[in-house]
Amino acid sequence: MADNKPQPAKNQAASESHAPKGASKKVREYKYKQGRSCPKCGPGVMLAEHKDRFSCGKCGYYERKK
């Protein structure tokens, strides 16, 4: 015979509590750093400064220094 026990409701508050995707949290966390951010990845990813270039470790974007 089938049980007629009520099923617990799914927790809707848990699914709504996730923050929207974006770099806003990262930007606030690293606001004190000076440097350039990657134009492809967004403001949360910083460009590494090398002797002759700036490069992104995430997507591979680079800019040559003049």
Distance CA 20, CA 22 (A): 6
Confidence of residue 30 (pLDDT cuts 50, 70, 90): low
Residue type at 23 in one-letter notation: A
What pairs with residue 37 in β-bridges?
46
N residues, the chain: 66
Tell which residue, 53, 65, 61, 20, has the closest CA to residue 45. 61
Confidence of residue 61 (pLDDT cuts 50, 70, 90): very high
Element at 24 (helix H, strand E)? helix 24-29
Residue 38 pLDDT more than 90? yes
Q: What is the mean pLDDT of residues 29-50?
A: 82
Which of these ranges, 11-20, 29-38, 43-52, has the smallest mean pLDDT?
A: 11-20
Mean pLDDT score across all residues of the chain: 76
Q: What is the mean pLDDT of residues 6-29?
A: 60
Distance CA 37, CA 18 (A): 25
